[in-house]
């Protein structure tokens, strides 16, 4: 145990004192925050520009149908031909020109309206224009049929289906969306953590093997302790870097937004603009989101996230270390990487394509107990309500498999770490297991 702690400390200090590790710890969050700040800045600049759209309405049906917004100004034209209006808009460098011809019937307008622009217009703007035209046309059509459109609007009932479990717990579409976001984010975070820091362990083993330092170390330490020490040490270094990233992202975000005077909350997506235009309060939606978050089993989610995160990473980290011991260079690892990455990729796809459709289906349940896929799939399922006994069984299977994998990996490690000048094959690795 004393040797294990020494190796763990050595691995941890070697990682955190490395210049590239320190540089990337500070540079990665700075780049990330810089990209998001640039996007927010460009969005603010883009929203400040007002686009002018000229309208020639020969039908005289849509005179007051188009209303100006913060980013769009509608300019009505009259006593001018369509060709002259088109030329005027092009020479004045307006955003676009909307031509509504005069037709014998309203039905003919469906395929007669034309929008001219320099390039392909914004889909959001075109949707707004078409919605305004359709609303007016449908109103006119109803009036022609002798139907009061306002009366129909008053009689229309909007259905809002309440969702509730058999146990009496209320749910909602928003709550289901938040659960899916949390599960997907947790599974994807684990996936990226395994890829980044698993490769770090593998490279560390290859470097020590090629520099022959391992020959001195292995003479006084058992392969199992050496393997575990490298895994735990690199894991702690990865967690340290991850926590530093979270803190630095918060600090850099505050500093950059304060210096540049950018308010990230002021940047609106088309969906938010649509909600405000329809009179839906963003504050009300925020309150509903907070309510749904509070209704989630936060304690259960945090505890299981930590257990599956640690167990899943340790399981794959031991395999990465075994691969590092079996090869002499990083280029030789490609033939062994695919069998490790396939279960991870499968877990992500199964999680997204089955948990979304049916989080308690047979496929979702089966893959949430298989140790090589359970960390990702189970993390996606837990927000939707998984019995505690299933979570416990999955965690036990995961950590038991980790211990078996460490034993398996250490047998490869103890032989492969001293093998030089010979490319390992699957047949060769099977022989090592029998030694």
**pTM score over 0.75:** no
Q: What is the pLDDT, as a whole number, of residue 271? A: 45
Give the Cβ contact number of residue 204 at 10 Å: 20
Question: For the range 393-400, what are the long-range contacts, defined as Cβ-Cβ under 8 Å and sequence gap of 24 or more?
Answer: 393/369, 394/308, 394/368, 394/369, 395/304, 395/307, 395/308, 395/311, 397/369, 397/371, 398/308, 398/311, 398/312, 398/315, 398/371, 398/374, 399/311, 400/371
Integer angstrom CA distances of residue 307 from 29, 141, 314: 26, 62, 11
C-alpha–C-alpha distance, residues 93 and 74, integer Å: 14
pLDDT of residue 5: 83
* Alpha helix stretches (DSSP H) within 99-147: 123-144
Spatial distance between the Cα atoms of 295 and 289, rounded to a whole number of angstroms: 10
Tens digit of each residue's pLDDT, the chain (435 residues): 567 788 888 888 888 888 888 888 888 888 888 887 777 777 666 655 678 888 888 887 777 777 777 778 888 888 888 888 888 888 888 888 888 888 877 777 777 888 888 877 777 788 888 888 888 878 777 777 777 767 777 767 766 665 555 555 555 556 666 777 777 787 788 888 888 888 888 887 777 777 766 666 666 777 777 778 888 888 888 888 888 888 888 888 777 777 766 555 544 444 444 444 444 445 566 666 666 666 667 788 888 888 888 888 888 888 888 887 777 777 777 777 888 888 888 888 887 788 777 778 888 888 889 988 888 888 888 877 788 898 899 999 999 998 888 888 877 777 777 776 667 777 777 777 777
């Amino acid at each position: 145990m004393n040797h294990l702690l020494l190796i763990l400390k050595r691995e941890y200090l070697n990682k955190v004192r490395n210049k590239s590790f320190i540089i990337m710890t500070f540079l990665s969050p700075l780049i990330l925050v810089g990209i998001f700040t640039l996007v927010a800045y460009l969005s603010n600049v883009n929203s400040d520009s007002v686009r002018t759209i000229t309208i020639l309405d020969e039908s005289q049906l849509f005179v007051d149908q188009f209303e100006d917004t913060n980013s769009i100004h509608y300019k009505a034209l009259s006593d001018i031909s369509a060709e002259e209006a088109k030329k005027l808009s092009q020479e004045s460098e307006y955003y676009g020109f909307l031509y509504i011809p005069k037709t014998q019937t309203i039905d003919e307008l469906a395929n007669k309206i034309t929008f001219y622009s320099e390039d392909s217009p914004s889909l959001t703007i075109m949707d707004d224009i078409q919605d305004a035209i359709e609303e007016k046309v449908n109103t006119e059509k109803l009036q022609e049929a002798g139907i009061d459109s306002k009366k129909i609007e008053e009689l229309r009932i909007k259905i809002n289906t309440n969702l509730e479990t058999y146990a009496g717990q209320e749910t909602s579409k928003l709550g289901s969306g938040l659960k899916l976001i949390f599960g997907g984010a947790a599974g994807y975070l684990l996936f990226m953590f395994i890829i980044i820091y698993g490769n770090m362990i593998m490279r560390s083993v290859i470097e020590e093997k090629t520099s022959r330092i391992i020959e001195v170390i292995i003479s006084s330490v058992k392969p199992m302790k050496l393997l575990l020490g490298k895994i735990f040490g690199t894991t702690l270094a990865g967690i340290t870097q991850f926590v530093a990233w979270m803190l630095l992202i918060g600090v850099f975000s505050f500093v950059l937004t304060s210096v540049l005077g950018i308010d990230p909350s002021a940047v609106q997506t088309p969906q938010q603009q649509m909600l405000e235009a329809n009179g839906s309060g963003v504050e009300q939606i925020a309150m509903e989101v907070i309510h749904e978050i509070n209704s989630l089993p936060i304690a259960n989610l945090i505890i299981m996230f930590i257990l599956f995160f640690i167990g899943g990473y340790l399981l794959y980290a031991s395999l990465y270390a075994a691969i590092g011991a079996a090869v002499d260079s990083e280029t030789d690892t490609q033939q062994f990487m695919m069998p490790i990455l396939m279960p991870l990729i499968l877990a992500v796809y199964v999680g997204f394509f089955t948990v979304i459709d049916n989080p308690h289906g047979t496929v979702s349940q089966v893959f949430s107990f298989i140790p090589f896929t359970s960390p990702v799939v189970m993390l996606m399922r837990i927000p939707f309500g998984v019995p505690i006994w299933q979570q416990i069984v999955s965690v036990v299977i995961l950590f038991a498999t980790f211990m078996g994998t460490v034993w398996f990996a250490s047998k490869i490690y103890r032989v492969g770490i001293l093998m030089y000048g010979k490319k390992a094959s699957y047949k060769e690795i099977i022989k090592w297991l029998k030694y």
